[in-house]
Amino acid sequence: MSAKCEPTTSDRVPMSATHSLDSSVTHVQGAEKATPVNSGSPQISLGNGEPEVLEEKQETLENDWENDPENARNWSPRRKWTAVCIVSAYTFVSPLASSMMAPGIPEVALKYGITNPTIIALTLSIFLLSFAIGPLILAPLSEMYGRTWVLHIGNLFTMAFSLGCAFAPNTGALIGFRFLSGFSGSAPIACGGGSVGDLFAAKDRASAMGLFSLGPLIGPVVGPVAGGFIAQTVGIRWVFIIIAITCGVVSLFGIPLLKETYAPIIQLRLAKKSGNLEKALKSHPHFQEERSKLHILWLNLARPITILFNSFICFILSLYAAFMYGIFYLMFATFAAFFKTTYGFAPGVGGLAYLGLGVGFFLATIFGAKFADQLYKHLGQKNGGVSTPEMRIPALFFGSFFVPIGIFWYGWSAQAKLHWIMPIIGSGIFGFGMMTTFLPIQLYLVDTFAFAASATSAAALFRSLLGFAFPLFGQQMFNKLGLGGGNSLLGGLAILLGIPFPIYLYYRGEALRAANPLTRGSTLPQHKS
Assessment of whether the complete model's pTM goes beyond 0.85: no
CA dihedral (368, 374, 375, 380) in degrees, to 10, reads 150
- Please list, residue by residue across 111-141, b when 16 or more beta carbons sit within 10 angstroms of its beta carbon and e when fewer do: ebebeeeeebebbbbbbbbbbbbbbbbbbbb
Q: What are phi and psi of 386, to 5 degrees?
A: -105, 120
Determine which of 426-430, 452-456, 491-495 has the lowest per-residue pLDDT on average: 452-456
Strand partners, 449: 519
pLDDT at 37: 33
CB burial of residue 91 (10 Å; 0-12, 13-18, 19+):
buried
From residue 17, how far is each of 21, 25, 398, 451 by CA, in Å? 6, 11, 33, 9
Which class in CATH covers the domain with range 71-288?
A: mainly alpha
Query: Tens digits of per-residue pLDDT, 186-207?
Result: 898 888 888 888 888 877 777 7
Q: Identical fold at 71-288 and 302-528?
A: yes
Cα gap 6→12, rounded to integer Å: 10
Query: Tens digits of per-residue pLDDT, 131-156?
Result: 888 877 887 788 778 889 899 999 99
Query: Where are the domains positioned within the chain?
Result: 71-288, 302-528
Please report, rounded to a whole number, the percentage of residues in the chain having pLDDT higher than 90.
Answer: 22
Of 486, 434, 138, nearest in space to 304 by CA: 138
Decide which of 234 and 159 is more confident: 159
Contacts of residue 399, Cβ cutoff 8 Å, sequence gap at least 6? 364, 368, 432, 433, 434, 435, 436, 437, 438, 439, 440
User: Taking each helix axis from N to C terminus, what angle separates 77-99 and 187-199, rounded to the nearest 10 degrees?
Assistant: 160
Residues in the chain: 529
Is domain 302-528 annotated with CATH 2.60.40.1760?
no
Can you spell out the DSSP letters for 48-112? Answer: SS-HHHHHHHHHHHHHHHHT-TTSGGGS-HHHHHHHHHHHHHHHHHHHHHHHTTGGGHHHHHHHH
Decide which of 235 and 35 is more confident: 235
CB burial of residue 414 (10 Å; 0-12, 13-18, 19+):
buried
Query: Tens digits of per-residue pLDDT, 295-338?
Result: 666 776 788 888 888 888 889 999 999 999 889 888 877 777 78
pLDDT at 159: 95
pLDDT at 145: 81
Average pLDDT of the chain, as a whole number:
77
Residue 342 has pLDDT above 60, yes or no: yes
Query: Model confidence at 69, in pLDDT bands (50, 70, 90)?
Result: confident
Please report, rounded to a whole number, the percentage of residues in the chain having pLDDT higher than 70.
Answer: 80
